[in-house]
Amino acid sequence: MEEKQNTRLHAIVEGGVQGVGFRFFVQDTANLLGLSGWVRNRWDGTVEVLVEGERGRLEQLLTALRRGPRSAQVMGVNFTWQDYSGEFSGFRVRQTSS
């Protein structure tokens, strides 16, 4: 039986991703996948996502980030895999940050 490995994904989404419902799209997708963490706009026009959960589900979220909601124009997703911390409960939209 395959072990379900928890990990952390940190992603920065570039393109026309603010003012198009992108954060709420990410929140809805993360909740459907049972992931925890947060999403926020950044002052440079990108959207930042920090999320934890099962690796396979995070990869599904990453696919969704590359697509975005219909109104978004995703130009790229820069991401890194990090160590799982278990610090989050639920998934939320955070305030804009630099």
Number of neighbours of residue 34 by Cβ within 10 angstroms: 10
Q: Which of 41, 55, 78, 92 is catalytic?
A: 41
pLDDT tens digits along 29-51:
999 999 999 999 999 999 999 99
Confidence of residue 55 (pLDDT cuts 50, 70, 90): very high
pTM: 0.94
Residue among 83, 85, 81 at smallest CA distance from 49: 81
pLDDT tens digits along 77-91:
999 999 999 999 999
Could you give the CA distance from residue 27 to residue 5 in angstroms, rounded to a whole number? 22
Average pLDDT over the chain reads 95
Q: Does residue 67 surpass a pLDDT of 60?
A: yes
Which CATH number is correct for 6-81, 3.30.559.10, 3.40.50.720, 3.40.605.10, 3.30.70.100? 3.30.70.100
Q: Would you list the domain boundaries of the chain?
A: 6-81
Q: Which of 6, 23, 42, 94 is catalytic?
A: 23
Confidence of residue 3 (pLDDT cuts 50, 70, 90): low
Cβ neighbours for 10, distance < 8 A, ≥ 6 positions apart: 48, 49, 50, 79, 80, 82
Tell me whether residue 23 is one of the annotated catalytic residues.
yes
Tell me whether residue 78 is one of the annotated catalytic residues.
no
Tell me 30's DSSP state.
Answer: H
Q: Given this model, what pLDDT does residue 1 score?
A: 46
Dihedral angle sign, alpha carbons of residues 13, 19, 23, 28: negative
Could you give the CA distance from residue 18 to residue 58 in angstroms, rounded to a whole number? 22
Structure tokens at 47: 């959207």
